[in-house]
Amino acid sequence: MVYTRKSPALLVIGLILLAHGYMIAGGNLADVVAYLKISKGVVAEMTDLSYVFGAIAVVVGLWHWFGDHKEGGLDYYASTVAGGAFILFVAMIVKWYLSPWVAVLSRALGPVAGTPAKPSYLHDVLGLNYVVLGIVAGMITVNVFKIPDWAHNGVRLSRLGLKTGVILLGTLYSLGELAKLGQLSVVMIGIFVLGSAWLVLLIGERRKISNSMGGVLAAGVGVCGVSAAVAAAPVVKARSDEIAYTIGTILVFGVICMFIFPVVGHALGMSYVQFGAWAGTGILNSAQVAGAALAYQPTGDLETLKVGEIFNITRVLFLPIIVMWLAVWYVRRENEAGGAVDGAVDKVDTTRVIIEKFPVFVLGFILMFAIGSAGVFSKTMIGAFRDWLTWLFAFGLTGLGMQITIAAMRQAGGEPLVIGSIVGTLKAVLSLIVVLMFVHGTI
């Protein structure tokens, strides 16, 4: 199969970006820039990024449109450039124009909370910044319009962007921060991951759902959402419809949490550390943790993202443990029920499970942390990493929005939705109480 579409779309995106860069640099959009209160630093960013990515899109776009494409690896991977450019183009519109415009309109309405010295406007309270608006733009694109055929393959790049962002995030931590957050996250995640997985299995047993359904739902609700459910599915021999039920449940719950958590956090006046800890523990899907954290604190030192991702990484590290537990649990349950299971308890190869399920990107995060801790990067360089992170997460989360389809959420239903909702709500509420009681201070 040839993946590259002979379409002028990528070339057009490139030409628009080049024209945009030229107009910004030439001051043709000065009135718009002044109305939206865009800073000089962002204007420079708009010029540079428009030129760089515009040039890349034009060159690759010409090749896409006029080149001779043959089946193979080059065609497969090169075809993703168009979709990647499509995500970036939407993210740029949102970050440079839509988000500042929403802020201008919101300020015009006057403060809705806070104090005269530190007023809060509607967009602050609702977290309507480039992250949330990017995800919403992505969801509207896929659900109301359509992801164009030429962009299909590239939209799958968004998770790569998020993982690269998490790895680079390692440069922002000090040894003291990581030690403090690491201890806190191991305790909280240990309790809530294992506790919620256990509770799913317990309620599942009482409500008489199949062992495979209970197992895959426990992994999804307990650990890190869709990825965990898919990773655990073969171990508990889950059927495809059971995976679909679980994914639907996680997505519905995750999307609701991603939008509600920042609003609750602002209403309760949570600190960045408190909110990061809560989001990293209470939100089911990994990508949506980053979304909520950045929605709460979209710019500056990104403390919320730093805390949230440490918690997220900790629970991802729990994945091999949960998978092993579920493997043993499943075989025992099936044996007790008298069902024939391929392989007995003692045949669960723990070493193999750990090696296969260990998330390698966590090693990248640790590597970046080690390099950063060695004092290799100056303060200016750390600032540059923050800029990169902002764009990598904006790219990843806008692309994530383009994958959240109503059709996927409609898969939710029946017992898995009931059990997932009970355990997910308990996890969110209890982790909020624990965070408010025991997590204080800054990092």
Partner 1 sequence: MTDQKSQNIDLQTTANGFTYHRGSALSIFKSDRYEDVVALIIALIIAIGVLYYVK
Dihedral class, residue 37 (left if φ above 0, else alpha if ψ from -120 to 50, else beta): left
To the nearest 10°, the Cα dihedral for 334, 336, 341, 344? 120
CA-only gyration radius of the chain, Å: 23
Pick between residue 107 and residue 156 the one whose CB is nearest to partner 1.
Answer: 156
Residue from 62, 97, 361, 426 binding partner 1 (CB under 8 A): 361
Q: Which of residues 86-145 bind partner 1 (CB under 8 A)?
A: 142-145
Residue written as token pair 């299971």: 341
Residue written as token pair 């005269």: 116
Minimum gap (Å) between residue 258 Cβ and partner 1: 11
Between CA 8 and CA 11 the distance in angstroms is 5
Which range binds partner 1 by CB under 8 A, 86-94, 116-124, 125-133, 234-242? 234-242
**How buried is 352 (Cβ within 10 angstroms: 0-12 exposed, 13-18 middle, 19+ buried)?**
exposed
Helix axis angle, 158-169 to 360-373, nearest 10°: 40
Q: Which of residues 207-226 bind partner 1 (CB under 8 A)?
A: 225-226
DSSP H or E run through 120? strand 119-120
Q: Which of residues 240-279 bind partner 1 (CB under 8 A)?
A: 240-241, 243-244, 247-248, 250-251
Residue written as token pair 């991702």: 309
| 51 touches partner 1 by CB under 8 A | no
Question: Cβ contacts of residue 96 below 8 Å, gap of 6+?
Answer: 38, 42, 46
Residue from 11, 88, 137, 155 binding partner 1 (CB under 8 A): 155
Minimum gap (Å) between residue 52 Cβ and partner 1: 12
| 227 touches partner 1 by CB under 8 A | yes
Question: Cβ contacts of residue 365 below 8 Å, gap of 6+?
Answer: 166, 167, 169, 170, 313
Minimum gap (Å) between residue 273 Cβ and partner 1: 25
Minimum gap (Å) between residue 257 Cβ and partner 1: 14
Which range binds partner 1 by CB under 8 A, 14-22, 91-99, 164-172, 275-283? 164-172
Pick between residue 164 and residue 211 the one whose CB is nearest to partner 1.
Answer: 164
Which range binds partner 1 by CB under 8 A, 18-26, 29-37, 361-369, 426-434? 361-369
Between CA 337 and CA 214 the distance in angstroms is 15
Minimum gap (Å) between residue 280 Cβ and partner 1: 18
Between CA 166 and CA 187 the distance in angstroms is 21
* Structure token pair of residue 338: 């008298």
Pick between residue 340 and residue 360 the one whose CB is nearest to partner 1.
Answer: 360
Between CA 422 and CA 338 the distance in angstroms is 30
User: By rule CB under 8 A, what string of x and - marks binding of each residue 395-424 to partner 1?
Assistant: -----x-xxxxxxxx-x-------------
Query: How far is CA 417 from each of CA 204, 237, 287, 410, 428, rounded to the nearest angstrom?
Result: 11, 20, 20, 11, 16
Which range binds partner 1 by CB under 8 A, 6-14, 341-349, 382-390, 426-434? 382-390
Residue from 23, 177, 388, 426 binding partner 1 (CB under 8 A): 388
The partner residues of 113 in beta bridges, in order of sequence, read: 120
Interacting residue ranges for partner 1, rule: CB under 8 A: 76-77, 80, 142-147, 152-160, 163-164, 167-168, 171, 225-227, 230-231, 239-241, 243-244, 247-248, 250-251, 285, 287, 359-361, 363-364, 367-368, 371, 376-378, 380-381, 384-385, 388, 400, 402-409, 411
